[in-house]
């Protein structure tokens, strides 16, 4: 329902040129090539991998398999989630072959339909309980491949809620298959638990409201609102979404590049390091020392730079969850159309924008 059409074209090109990538919120039907059914998951395995820090988010297929094999003592209580938009039967990365023991998670479960923001604390807590997740459970999220930010979206929601050890399989199911690990096609159902173990959200500071964004843009020179959108979206050529008619950016925003075009991918499809993000910020005169609020259209792509900073020990970042979708709902909000460093940039308000910029 919240699939953005421009990403379909970008992801198709990415999948054709890379075995694995990172950053899109669409699905391509390429998963499960080494699927051998449930029997494959039962083959003898004893993978050893070095432990990783609790805050380390992006992990290797070897580490995930070592968890499954019982060789990560601190992650003996774990849940694996295949994250994608839609119901289980509509997910090729689940039905064709998923990581053994994984449960399917529809991203609609973590987002409300009104503005595609993270659902209420009560709803997220109930979701966690239904999936057998407490604050001490190691949660391993993955998407179909790296060109998919569904797992990052779920990861940031669960960190906000208070899960202390959240991981993303770097490169997604494609990386898992490339590593030669077994998959299964049978459906798995979680067992619910009764107590999460802390108040949800345990980390409200990870999400910044539109009101606080507006205030900081006006009054805090150290604050930087960072757009994680395509260049065409950044320049106001398209909204990037079929259901958003207006194009532009909140006035005062800077560009942090897009996750859909490979800007946040290494050559092997794994997620880039914090040094790459630092370089993107420097292009606009910002740095990792600023207070950084990342946003995109509806919160998927912006999750990736947040998680990169999180796993590198930074605490001066937030997710502006409402993104451009929420910003353009108020006709009075100030916007910029074009590169703000250019003399051609137009400074106006939402109400003055044309309404013919929806992605086709």
Distance CA 86, CA 109 (A): 10
Beta strand residue intervals within 242-303, DSSP E = 249-250, 254-255, 291-295
Exposure string for 40-66, b = 16+ CB within 10 A, e = fewer: bbeeeeebebeebeeebbbbbbebbbb
Query: Checking DSSP bridges between strand 334-337 and strand 346-349, what pairing results, if any?
Result: antiparallel
Beta-ladder partners of 82: 104, 142
- Does the active-site annotation cover 141? no
Quote the Cα angle for 66-263-99, to 5°: 25
- Side-chain-side CA neighbours of 252 within 13 Å: the count stands at 19
Beta-ladder partners of 226: 254, 294
Distance CA 77, CA 28 (A): 31
Exposure string for 159-179, b = 16+ CB within 10 A, e = fewer: bbbbbbbbbbbbbbbbbbbbe
Quote the Cα angle for 148-133-317, to 5°: 55
Q: For residue 254, give both structure tokens.
A: 């800077």
11, 168, 296, 345: which is the annotated catalytic residue? Answer: 296
Burial of 13 (C-beta count, 10 Å sphere; 0-12/13-18/19+): middle
Nearest C-alpha neighbor of 253 from the set 170, 336, 186 = 336
Peptide bond preceding 201 in cis form (omega within 30 of 0) = yes
The count of other CB atoms within 10 Å of the CB of residue 188 is: 16
Judge whether 271 and 148 are in contact, CB under 8 Å: no
Catalytic residues: 296
């Amino acid at each position: 329902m919240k699939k953005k059409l421009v990403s379909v074209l970008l992801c198709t090109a990415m999948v054709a040129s890379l075995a694995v990538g990172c950053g899109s919120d669409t699905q391509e039907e390429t998963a499960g090539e080494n699927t051998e059914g449930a029997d494959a998951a039962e083959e003898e395995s004893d993978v050893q991998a070095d432990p990783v820090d609790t805050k380390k988010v992006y992990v290797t297929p070897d580490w995930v398999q070592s968890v499954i094999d019982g060789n990560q003592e601190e992650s003996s209580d774990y849940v694996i989630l295949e994250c994608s938009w839609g119901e289980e039967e509509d997910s090729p990365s689940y039905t064709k072959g998923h990581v053994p023991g994984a449960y399917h998670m529809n991203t609609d479960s973590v987002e409300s339909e009104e503005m595609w923001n993270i659902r209420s604390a009560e709803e997220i807590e109930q979701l966690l309980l239904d999936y057998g997740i407490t604050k001490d459970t190691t949660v391993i999220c993955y998407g179909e491949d790296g060109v998919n930010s569904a797992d990052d979206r779920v990861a940031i929601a669960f960190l906000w809620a208070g899960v202390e050890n959240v991981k993303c399989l770097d490169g997604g199911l494609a990386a898992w298959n490339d590593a030669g690990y077994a998959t299964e096609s049978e459906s798995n159902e979680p067992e619910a638990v009764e107590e999460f173990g802390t108040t949800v959200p345990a980390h409200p500071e990870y999400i910044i409201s539109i009101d606080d964004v507006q205030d900081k843009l006006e009054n805090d020179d150290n604050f930087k609102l960072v757009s994680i959108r395509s260049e065409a979206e950044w320049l106001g050529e398209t909204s990037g979404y079929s259901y958003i008619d207006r194009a532009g950016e909140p006035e005062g925003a800077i560009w942090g590049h897009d996750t859909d075009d490979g800007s946040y991918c290494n050559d092997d499809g794994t997620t880039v390091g914090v040094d790459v993000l630092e370089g993107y910020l420097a292009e606009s005169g910002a740095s990792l020392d600023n207070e950084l609020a990342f946003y995109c259209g509806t919160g998927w792509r912006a999750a990736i730079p947040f998680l990169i900073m999180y796993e590198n020990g930074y605490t001066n970042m937030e997710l502006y969850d409402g993104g451009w979708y929420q910003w353009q709902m108020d006709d009075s909000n100030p916007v910029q159309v074009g590169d703000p460093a250019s003399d051609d940039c137009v400074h106006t308000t939402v109400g003055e924008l044309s309404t013919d910029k929806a992605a086709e």
